[in-house]
Structure 1
Amino acid sequence: MIEIDPQDLADRYMAQWTEPDAAERRAAVERLWAADGTHVLQPPVEIRESAAGLGFRHPTLEAQGHDAIEIRVASSYERFVAKQGITFRARPDAMRLQGLVRFGWEAVSAESGEVVGGGSEILVLDDEGRIRTDYMFPGT
């Protein structure tokens, strides 16, 4: 596996979510993610409760491949950055253990600078240092 700086990767990962230019977002996805990479999101409480009512004990939301991940990132940008004035940043706590990188992140009001949310990520990397699987835990 190639050497990577886990904090640099965390910062570049978070930057893709706040990139206003669609072409640059796509380029960031292609640089960061393996072609068949998978983004796995722990759904918000409302979705988990709804799914539990349907008999799903541990629901997840997944996007696989550059096209699906690009749609996921663009949708998040539109909802949180463009419409709500939120920006995202990695906490300075990124750590690497073999092929895993773990870090926390914050959602910040661009207007007030107040931290309004956050979460944590566990990235599984391929041999080229690209994201093979991303486990996102909002609210942690």
Structure 2
Amino acid sequence: MNPIVDAYLATWNAAPAEREQLLADHFSPEVTYVDPLTEVAGHAGMHALIEGVRTQFPGFVFTPVGDPDGHHDRLRFQWGLGPEGAEPVVIGFDVVVLDEAGRVRDVHGFLDRVPA
């Protein structure tokens, strides 16, 4: 489970060129993502979503919070977003469904703590 979470968070932390490769390696071309604020599909949708978040929170990084848990083709984990080495400003919880190749197919995101 940890390699999946590591690749997922690395994708969110990557610069655009590296992000394209991480999306190709670890996310299904049919990936869907939905959270309380947005819904996107495909690599282009994920790339645009991640770029928007990185623009909104410049210099922040995604880090794992706690240990992931999973069964079958499902994985859940909590993450934080904030300045490197500091307390996260945003904390979220994602449920990921994998495809038959072990790539991220669906992401169901929840926001546990957001700035006012």
Same fold (TM over 0.5): yes
Identity of aligned residues (%): 26
Structure ranking higher in strand proportion: 2
TM-score normalised according to structure 2 size: 0.88
**Aligned partners of 1:126, 1:119: CA distance in 2, in Å?**
22
Q: Over residues 55-104 of structure 1, what are the superposed CA-to-partner deviations in whole Å (9 max), with x where a residue is unaligned? A: xxxxxx21111111111111112221x2xx32111124112210101100
Letter in 1 for 2:61: T
Letter in 1 for 2:91: G
Is 2:47 the partner of 1:70?
yes
**Aligned partners of 1:92, 1:133: CA distance in 2, in Å?**
21
User: Once superposed, what is the RMSD of the aligned Cα atoms?
Assistant: 1.5
Tell me what 1:132 maps to. 105
The size of the alignment, in residue pairs, is 113
Residue 10 of structure 2: which of 15, 33, 36 is its match?
A: 15
How far 1:39 moved relative to its partner?
A: 0.7
Runs of 4+ in 1 over 4 A off after TM superposition: none
Tell me what 1:121 maps to. 94
Residue 95 of structure 1: which of 56, 69, 72 is its match?
A: 69
Structure with more contact order per residue of length (Cα contacts < 8 Å, sep ≥ 6): 1
**Aligned partners of 1:78, 1:26: CA distance in 2, in Å?**
17
Larger Rg: 1
Tell me what 1:79 maps to. 56
Uncovered stretches (5+) of structure 1, i.e. residues with no partner:
1-5, 44-60
